[in-house]
Amino acid sequence: MALGFVLMAVLGFQLARTAMPKAEVPKPTPDARGTAEWRTIENEPALKMRAGDRGEASPQRDDEATLAGALPNQRALLFADGASLDAFLNNHGADVNVLGRMDGLHALRISFDDPSILDDLDAESALIFPVYDPAPPEGTVQAGAAELGSSLLSWLGVEGDNAGWGAGVKVAVLDSGIAEHGTFTGAVSRINLVDLPSDGAPQDGHGTAVASVIAGSDPLTPGVSPGVELISIRIADETGFSDSYWLAEGILAAVDAGADLINISMGSLGDSLLVRRAIEQATARGALIIAAAGNNGIGEVNFPAANEGVIGVGGVDASGEHLLFSNTGSGVDVSAPGFGINAAWPGEQGLSVSGTSFSAPIITGSLAAIMTHGATRRLSPLEAYDLLKTYANDAGDAGADLALGIGMPDLGRVLNRNQPGIYDAAVGSSRLLAPGSAYPQGAVEVLVQNRGTETLVNTRVQVAVDGFTTTQNITTLAPNAVLSIRVPLRRTPDDGRGAVSLSTSVKTSSVTDTKPANNLRVQTYAPAK
């Protein structure tokens, strides 16, 4: 915490730390400036219902909702048009309790005592699923995972002043709301679909932290695009709880407010018909939705990140390694840092945060930057995303994979894509391959990528495994091309002799590498536990 206190003295607010879940969390020791802030975000029961939405106890069990993990005795009803919706209210209004109306989707939110009221309705019935701010990452974080800290901009390859990046781009943050904070230099418009605490309780800071990764301007909590116009849409209460009805309503509110980009650092295990309809409408109106993959460490991506038309974002550490808690699956489109990131917190504070909640806004901020910087005209969200994908730094499997998607953003590459004379051979990543017929002891696979703008000629690649070095020469490698190199292992990490060490280096021939920092990658593969 000593570093945090030094930074506090310089920048005028405290840097607190959210710990990974542990059996016991030690509290920091007070110093001469008072007691350090310490905050943990507790796990929220998946099926917790918001007080006031539970309705009266029902003698009729709603097995369909309960078995699906949805809110019991509630539904969203979607009608063909407004006239059909009004006709339902005229005919069945006394049989249900109307909790909400969403004219943009011709939808009603209802609660009921008897599920049979849903039979033979002239409407589509949609379950309402819990949606929540992801708790601190479940599962484990691999040993040696690198925290990002305040290095977001340099990690993205950003140099110089980025204060105006994103100017004119409207970014909606669907979350617990964005509190007032000095890190936001522009105006923040606010739409509270869920009321703020009426008893003066502090506002949940998750939405503020997320927004600061997009648009923060403080050197300690830097954002990618401080020039964006933030739209805070509060869809979660003080426990971080929301549901698919509020989420769908928030998406429509964002589009109605003119949002170009919609960040959703929340997730659900339920695939909501209502949310899918809202996504379709947002997409048709030109908005792009970016959402967190989830922190459960499972092979299943949270919704809405897993929905068609949404950019699902997984998590890596600062060295580009997949974080074990980051969910995997076909819904992961791209990845960004999600471990030990400096972010703003209500009360003019800072916080170190972890989770894919904070990977998603890195992508959102990057898209805003690409839309507005280095182009002769403002790009559309989809045009910006196409550039982000084209110039992504590959890792994991060559090409797209279930853990990292197409790779990680590199704003430096995107913004300098038309600048000639850039030579950049990079070791993208390495991974272990299981033993098989081709490799009885297994193998290591190394990705080498040309991240420059010029073709590389005669690039030497050296792969040292436990001190045994293999050298290969890549004759030519076109800009943005990726080459996979496999080297057989002489032993496995589980043979009783301890970890396997790996060192990979690349060296360009007769030209100066523009970014030598990515020419060397050293890793250790420990025995399986």
Query: Residues 397, 399, 402, 405: is their CA dihedral positive or negative?
Result: positive
- The answer to whether 357 is a known catalytic residue is yes
Task: List, as one string, the DSSP characters of 411-430.
Answer: HHHHHTTT-S----EEEEEE
Q: Which two tokens stand for residue 245?
A: 């009805």
User: Please, are residues 426 and 408 in contact by the beta-carbon 8 Å criterion?
Assistant: no
Q: What is the mean pLDDT of residues 470-482?
A: 96
For residues 520 and 511, give the distance between their C-alpha atoms in angstroms, rounded to a whole number: 17
Average pLDDT on 79-105 reads 93
The CATH architecture of the domain made up of 63-128 is: 2-Layer Sandwich (3.30)
SS3 312: strand
Q: How far apart are CA 336 and CA 409, in angstroms?
A: 7
pLDDT at 200: 66
Q: Which residues are CB-contacts of 515 (< 8 A; sequence separation ≥ 6)?
A: 424, 426, 451
The number of beta carbons lying within 10 Å of the beta carbon of residue 100 is 14
DSSP state of 300: S
Point out the least confidently predicted range of 341-345, 375-379, 388-392, 426-430.
375-379
The predicted pLDDT at position 127 comes to: 98
Span 346-372, pLDDT tens digits: 999 999 999 999 999 999 999 999 999
| Model pLDDT, residue 60 | 83
| Antiparallel, parallel or unpaired: β 468-477 and 520-525 | unpaired
pLDDT value, residue 340: 96
Token readout for 444 is: 């290591």
- Rounded to whole angstroms, the Cα distance separating 356 from 295 reads 6
**Which of 84-93, 336-345, 503-512 shows the highest mean pLDDT?**
336-345
**Dist. CA 134–CA 492, nearest whole Å:** 36
- pLDDT tens sequence across 478-528: 999 999 999 999 998 888 888 999 999 999 988 999 999 999 999 888 887
pLDDT band for position 147 (cuts 50, 70, 90)? very high
pLDDT 10s digits, 26-36: 222 222 222 22
Write down the catalytic residue from 111, 150, 268, 357. 357
Which of 62, 133, 175, 243 does the annotation list as catalytic?
Answer: 175
- Per the CB < 8 A criterion, the answer to whether 507 and 519 are in contact is yes
Mean predicted confidence (pLDDT) in 232-256: 97
What is the rounded CA–CA span in Å between residue 344 and residue 11?
A: 12
Which CATH architecture describes the domain 148-390? 3-Layer(aba) Sandwich (3.40)
Dihedral angle computed from the Cα positions of residues 346, 348, 354 and 355, in that order, rounded to the nearest 10 degrees: 40
402-415 pLDDT, tens per residue? 999 999 999 999 99
Give which of 258, 296, 254, 294 is closest to 275, Cα–Cα.
254
- For the segment 418-429, what is each residue's pLDDT rounded down to a tens digit? 999 999 999 999
Spot the catalytic one: 206, 232, 322, 354.
Answer: 206
On the question of pLDDT at 267 being above 60, the answer is: yes
Q: Is the dihedral of CA 395, 398, 400, 402 positive or negative?
A: negative
Q: Characterise 260 by phi-psi region: left (phi > 0), alpha (psi -120 to 50), beta (else).
A: alpha
What fold, for 419-525? Immunoglobulin-like (2.60.40)
Residue type, 374: G
Cis peptide bond N-terminal to 304, omega within 30 = yes
d(CA 498, CA 503): 16
Strand intervals (E) in 6-46: 15-17
- Domain boundaries in the chain? 63-128, 148-390, 419-525
122 is an active site residue: no
- The radius of gyration of the chain from alpha carbons, rounded to an integer in Å, stands at 25
